[in-house]
Each structure stands twice: as structure tokens, then as C-alpha cells.
Amino acid sequence: MAVVNRDPLTAPHRTRNDAFLAVGVAVLALVLASLTDDGRPLGPPGWALLAGAHVPLVWRRSRPLLVLLAVAACVTLYHALDYNHAVPIPATLVALYTVAATGTVRRSLLTAVVVLGPTLIINTFTNPDGALELLRISGWIIAVLFFGVDARFYRQYVASIVERAERAERTREEEARRRVVEERLRIARDLHDLLAHSITLIGVQTSVAAHVLTADPDRLDRTAVAQALDGIAHTCRTARGELRTTLEVLRENETGVGFARERERVAAPGSGSSSGSGLGSSDGRGPLPGLDGLGALAEAARVAGAKVELSVHADGVPPSVGAAAYRIVQEALTNAVRHGGRDDLTVRVGLRTAERTLRVTVTDDGAGQGTSRGAGQGHAVSGAVRNGAGHGQASGGAPGFGLVGMRERARSVGGTLDAGPGPTEGFHVTAELPLPREEPS
């Protein structure tokens, strides 16, 4: 079967193998010459013509047509001299099969016409009464050519199957690489959203505590210091819980069950509306964040000194869309608190569903830069935190990944996001996230 499947024109060691085949066919001819008596006994011219018909078979796959012509010339003269007619039949059939197996159907038909014509003419003159013999010879020629064409079609069919299997394997490998890249981007977004938000809040609250301690040592506001330190501790617990949840999902993915457990966690009652802030467990772990966690985000921003107006009118939001909206609002609030540049910063957060779309808007009235410091807790953000960098820009002046991450969050659920400075002041973030008709189970 492997010999049939292999392309005869590209098979390795084909000349050597064809030499062995030519020797085998010659041995078969000798056997037929000794066992049959269908014509004159072989003399020196007959043996020479017989050898001339077998030697070209060594190059039958390299030059199939030339080999057939050489074999046909020798065999035609051999039969014209009325030597044993059965002896050269194997060599003739091998040459005919090679032409059909390596060429096109048109070439095989032309070969049949060219071979059958002289054969029938010669047999008509040498054996006028042998109509049955003519039919037998024609049948063998047509059968061999048909077998060669069928073998060629079968090889093409097997080659197409192998090519499709290889293409499917390449597609699977490309899909696996694409999934790895997407997973790395998802991990980077999760870690960026978590760490950037938490570190910004910790920086703001540390600035509050430092300002209260140094502003007026004689009238130390211990309550404000304690509140700032409690806020730092709460932010650390929240970040630790979300980080642990993220790392647990990654470990589960490595064992092949992470996606199933994550789907179970998302599909669990209340998972789509959890804040992910760790308030529901003693060690700070919780389910994936959702719209109900927006209140905790707003409260954390208020502790950092911003006035947050939160308006949520959204029903029937799937967990995946809710988690994307949560991260977008989280990053937008982080940017507003970090880069707002004014002491009386106001941030308006709105979420509303309409026409199977969740619309998310986050607008602030920040100035983009600011170095002033107030005396109270809400005005105690230092220039080290609000250093004049624009939205989506790191504190050192290098571009950050906040806006890129928000757009990727929106695209991950099939939505869009626009972000940019307002017409007069502040910064505006608008996202439209489509709501699927059915949440997959």
C-alpha cells in the first residue's frame, strides 16, 4: 500500500528499484519462454530484442514515454518475427502502467490509441482468424491503462487527505499560539488593572497620612491618620485577594480544569454582581468582579479625595460584560484620581442598558495637572502622586497601558471604547458593550 501511495516521480531510489524490477520482469520472461510455446523458438535476434525491451525499464519513471516507445519498438519487431508471443507481455504491461500512472488521462487515452492501432494491424495480418485474440489483447491493454489511471487518482486522493491533515495540524498549532498570546494579554490586563488601581490608592492614602503628620504636629489629627492607614490596609487586603484569585485561575488552567472552574464560578448565583474586593471572605478572596463592586470602587476613590457620583441602571448584564465594565470603571477612576490635578475633583460614573447594549461613561473635571495641596484629608494628594502626567501616561512621562487596557477590555466582549479630553476640561471615557441574548452556560 505504501508503494501505491508514494508518488512514483519523487520516490527515493527509484532508478535502483526500477533496475531490480527490470531484472524481475526479465526472469519472468525467461520462465514464460521455457513454459510456453506460442510461436517460433527464440534465436539470437529474439534474445536481443527481448533484452532491448527489458533494459529501458530501468528508467521507466524518469522517462516513461521514451521507455514505452523503446519497449514498443523492440516488441513490435519481436512479434513481427513470430517469436514466442507470450514472453514480452510483462515488459509491455509494465511500460503501459507506468505511462498511465505518471501522466494525465489524456495522455493515457492517446497511448491506448497509439498502442492498440499498430497491435491490431499487426495481428490482423499475422492472424486474420484470431478475432478473440484481438479482443483479449485490447482488453489487457485497456485494463492496464485503467489500473494505472486509477492508481494515480488514488495517490492524489491520499495526498489531499495528508495535506488537509497537515493544514489542520498547522491551524491547531496557530490557534494554540493565538490562545497563548490572548491569555498573556488577559493576564497583563488583570494584573495592570489590579496593581495600578491598588498602588495608586495606597500612594494617595500614604500622602494623606504624611500630610496630616507634617502639616501641624501640635494639632495632630489622629482620626485622619488612622482612617488613612485603615484605607491602606483595606486596599492591600483587596489587592491580595484579587491577586490570589487571578493566580488560582492561572494554576487551574495549567492543569486543564481552570476554564471549567472559572465558568462555574462565573455562572454561580451572585457571581456576576460581586465586587471582587474580598469583603465576602476572611482571607480576601472572592469571585470575579461585577457591577455590584462599583460601589466599593467609588468609595475607595472618595477616600482618596475625589467626589464620585455613581449612577447604575443596568439589568440582565452577563458576568463577562459586567467584569469588563468593572475593569473599565476601575481604570478610569484610577486615572482620574492619579492625574486629575485638582483638589476638588469630581468624577461622574454612569452605567445604563439600552437596546441590548451596556453604555459606560466616566467623566471627570480634572485639569490634567496640579501641584496644589490642601490642608484637609480630601486635599492631601501630593505632587508625587499627581505629578502633572496626562491620562493614560505613567508618572515618569512614558506612555502607560491604561487606555490600551480599557480598549482591549471592551473589545474582549465585542464592544468599543472612546477616551479623550473634554471640550473645556477634564477627561471622558465612553464604552459601549453589547449584551448577548443568551449567556453561554
**Got the DSSP string for 304-366?**
TT-EEEEEEE--S--HHHHHHHHHHHHHHHHHHHHH--STT-EEEEEEEE-SSEEEEEEEE--
Query: φ and ψ at 385, to 5 degrees?
Result: -95, -50
Write down the pLDDT at residue 393. 45
Sign of the dihedral through C-alpha 108, 114, 117, 121 = negative
Dihedral of the alpha carbons of 199, 201, 204, 210, in degrees to the nearest 10: -80
Query: φ and ψ at 379, to 5 degrees?
Result: -115, 20
Reported as type and span, the H/E element at residue 410 is helix 402-412
pLDDT band with cut points at 50, 70 and 90 for residue 276: very low
Question: How is residue 273 written as a grid cell?
Answer: 454582581
| Mean pLDDT to the nearest integer, 11-29 | 84
Write down the pLDDT at residue 139. 79
Q: Considering the chain, what percentage of its residues have pLDDT values greater than 70?
A: 72
SS3 438: coil
Which tops the pLDDT comparison, 61 or 268? 61
Nearest-10 crossing angle of helices 402-412, 131-215: 130
d(CA 437, CA 357): 11
Question: Among 106-120, 250-264, 297-311, 391-405, which stretch is predicted with the lowest mean pLDDT?
Answer: 250-264
Say whether pLDDT at 67 is over 50: yes
**H helix runs in 127-268, sequence order:** 131-215, 222-254, 258-267
| Mean pLDDT to the nearest integer, 220-242 | 75
Question: Among 114-118, 150-154, 228-232, 409-413, which stretch is predicted with the lowest mean pLDDT?
Answer: 114-118
Q: Considering the chain, what percentage of its residues have pLDDT values greater than 90?
A: 9
CB 366 within 8 A of CB 340: yes
The pairing of beta strand 346-353 with beta strand 307-313: parallel
**Cα–Cα separations (whole angstroms), residue 102 to 61, 73, 151, 364, 431:** 8, 21, 9, 76, 63
Write down the pLDDT at residue 128. 62
CB 401 within 8 A of CB 191: no
CB 406 within 8 A of CB 431: yes
CB 239 within 8 A of CB 205: no
Return the DSSP state at 42. Answer: P
